[in-house]
A and B are shown apart, each in its own frame.
Chain A
């Protein structure tokens, strides 16, 4: 149907999307997620290496998507949050809990989930969503 059907696209993002692998600049120490191939702060002086992130973090804002884009119709409504990861970077991701449970400041932990199915014959995209961390 669309570019989302692309197997290479998801194959090359596997490590970062499935296992929350970010990158760290050995020059300035900044951690990036999504990972980068160039440190925007150090540019040519930077040297990046992969770093495994915990994926844990806290919600700094959230919304409930009720008018979804093509392909996400059957999941609507769903919560998307802006999450500050414990290691520093921010990322947007879906929250699997009911909207009523979601609040700014709540801690979240990553869970591996199906993100999107590209039609009946297309590939299934997996990745990380987040859930409210009940232990805290």
Chain B
């Protein structure tokens, strides 16, 4: 099979950018990625952009056209990809497949979300568009609420304590401190998490990812182009799977089957297993999600995910550092998150990360849409096989 590599990366600072619009953010990230690759706009064959809900966040639809127009890249084809919080990874996968198909050689893939133009209750309602509008949103459920239902069921089933759950944000805040792009740059303790306001019991404020404006972009290229790039990081595996839209449709709410399936696909294509992964970026939209991710990805046995935290195996210096950039404590501009994860893995494999893991050669990204209705996993390698 044809090989595809990431040859350029760029992202904006994550945070509340009251001075910047969706178009400013996406253009900034795209320009940074082109600069990083040493390419110009004329080299780009197509653009893909992940965006969850510009229509509800800002009123703007037709986001592919907006991005390509603002970047001065017309008339190349521009496609918006949407799978809620997994929109960024979906755009990445579609761009990858478009190169594999032979249609394109060099593709710009971005992800962007402008979330702070709405007041927070509006953002909460908009994010819930990722759930089931007729049966979940309509009763006043929120995304924190859905993950809270998963968290309480998990705690009951596997005996996870509230203090153990707090180890996720404590670790990710610690990792985010050195990240210049992160929305949060402060360390927290288990006690801080336990004292933070309840949002949806048992989840508290510090269990949650923030509402963020931001954009991220990467350049993908086919093997004949990418082989000349010293920094190229290769896509070794790509998996995508689906599950029921609503949480109530799932047999077991303590696991995300779409993530298990997507991981299996990616591992199989890459010819590696969980033990081969040096670093991973997982979708920690709420603290419980990271523990479930460890298990869905095969890093831990079912119910034992917390052991990795307690033993600091997923902290930098541990056996398998997870969310070395701070995870979604960097910010969670939903459509950009999947690309932000890819960028951190690329930096680690290039040896340029703020929390560099020594000799990282294989990295994984795990991006979840909604409460688990879409999951996308990618495996990247430093060396071309």
Decide: A65 and B145 in contact? CB cutoff 8 A: yes
Assembled-state Cα–Cα distance A13/B138 (Å): 12
CB of B122 within 8 A of chain A? yes
Q: Which residue from chain B places its CB closest to the CB of A69 in the assembled complex?
A: B125
- Chain B residues near A131 (CB-CB < 8 A): none
Assembled-state Cα–Cα distance A82/B150 (Å): 9
- Fill in one digit per residue for B113-141: 1 if any A CB lies within 8 Å of its CB, else 0: 00000001110110010000111111111
Decide: B135 and A67 in contact? CB cutoff 8 A: no
Decide: A69 and B128 in contact? CB cutoff 8 A: yes
Assembled-state Cα–Cα distance A13/B9 (Å): 47
CB of B100 within 8 A of chain A? no
By a beta-carbon cutoff of 8 Å, the part of chain B in contact with chain A is: 120-122, 124-125, 128, 133-142, 144-145, 148-150, 152-153, 156, 197-203, 246-250, 253
CB of A111 within 8 A of chain B? no
User: Among A60, A78, A81, which residue has the most Cβ atoms of chain B within 10 A?
Assistant: A60
Decide: B149 and A69 in contact? CB cutoff 8 A: no
Check A34/B134 contact, CB under 8 A, given A63-B201, A69-B142, A116-B140.
Answer: yes
Check A3/B200 contact, CB under 8 A, given A61-B153, A82-B253, A92-B139.
Answer: no
Assembled-state Cα–Cα distance A91/B147 (Å): 15
Assembled-state Cα–Cα distance A82/B198 (Å): 19
Report A83-115 residues with CB < 8 Å from chain B CB: 89-94, 99, 104, 115
Decide: B153 and A69 in contact? CB cutoff 8 A: no
Which A-B residue pairs are the 3 nearest by beta carbons?
A63-B148, A69-B125, A61-B153
- Chain B residues near A9 (CB-CB < 8 A): 134
Assembled-state Cα–Cα distance A97/B307 (Å): 36
CB of A80 within 8 A of chain B? yes
- Chain B residues near A4 (CB-CB < 8 A): 138
Check A82/B153 contact, CB under 8 A, given A63-B145, A68-B121.
Answer: yes
Assembled-state Cα–Cα distance A86/B115 (Å): 41
Q: Could you show 21 A-B contacts with beta carbons less than 8 Å apart? A: A61-B152, A61-B253, A64-B200, A65-B145, A67-B124, A67-B142, A67-B200, A68-B124, A69-B121, A72-B140, A73-B121, A82-B149, A82-B153, A82-B253, A90-B248, A91-B248, A92-B246, A93-B139, A94-B140, A115-B138, A127-B138
Check A65/B200 contact, CB under 8 A, given A78-B140, A80-B145.
Answer: yes
- Chain A residues near B247 (CB-CB < 8 A): 82, 92
- Taking A89-B248, A92-B139 as known contacts, 15 extra A-B pairs with beta carbons closer than 8 A to each other, sorted by chain A number, are A3-B133, A9-B134, A63-B148, A66-B198, A66-B199, A66-B201, A68-B140, A69-B128, A69-B140, A70-B121, A81-B149, A82-B248, A92-B135, A115-B139, A116-B140
Decide: A94 and B121 in contact? CB cutoff 8 A: no
Assembled-state Cα–Cα distance A99/B198 (Å): 13
Check A70/B141 contact, CB under 8 A, given A60-B153, A64-B201, A92-B149.
Answer: no
Decide: B124 and A63 in contact? CB cutoff 8 A: no
CB of A29 within 8 A of chain B? no
Assembled-state Cα–Cα distance A9/B120 (Å): 25
Decide: B201 and A71 in contact? CB cutoff 8 A: no
User: What is the interface size of chain A, counting residues whose CB is below 8 A from a CB of the partner?
Assistant: 37
- Fill in one digit per residue for A5-36: 1 if any B CB lies within 8 Å of its CB, else 0: 00001000100000000000000000000100
- Fill in one digit per residue for A45-75: 1 if any B CB lies within 8 Å of its CB, else 0: 0000000000000001111111111111101
Check A62/B152 contact, CB under 8 A, given A90-B249, A91-B135.
Answer: yes
Selected from A61, A78, A94, the residue in CB contact (under 8 A) with B149 is A61
- Chain B residues near A67 (CB-CB < 8 A): 120, 124, 142, 144, 199-200
Q: Which residue from chain B places its CB closest to the CB of A67 in the assembled complex?
A: B199
Decide: B153 and A66 in contact? CB cutoff 8 A: no
- Chain A residues near B246 (CB-CB < 8 A): 34, 92
Assembled-state Cα–Cα distance A102/B120 (Å): 28
- Chain B residues near A61 (CB-CB < 8 A): 149-150, 152-153, 156, 253
- Chain B residues near A62 (CB-CB < 8 A): 149, 152
Decide: A92 and B138 in contact? CB cutoff 8 A: no
B358 to chain A minimum Cβ distance, whole angstroms, is 41
Assembled-state Cα–Cα distance A89/B198 (Å): 29
- Chain B residues near A99 (CB-CB < 8 A): 201
Decide: A104 and B152 in contact? CB cutoff 8 A: yes
Decide: B138 and A69 in contact? CB cutoff 8 A: no
Q: Which residue from chain B places its CB closest to the CB of A68 in the assembled complex?
A: B140
Q: Which residue from chain B places its CB closest to the CB of A90 in the assembled complex?
A: B248
Assembled-state Cα–Cα distance A62/B16 (Å): 32
B312 to chain A minimum Cβ distance, whole angstroms, is 29
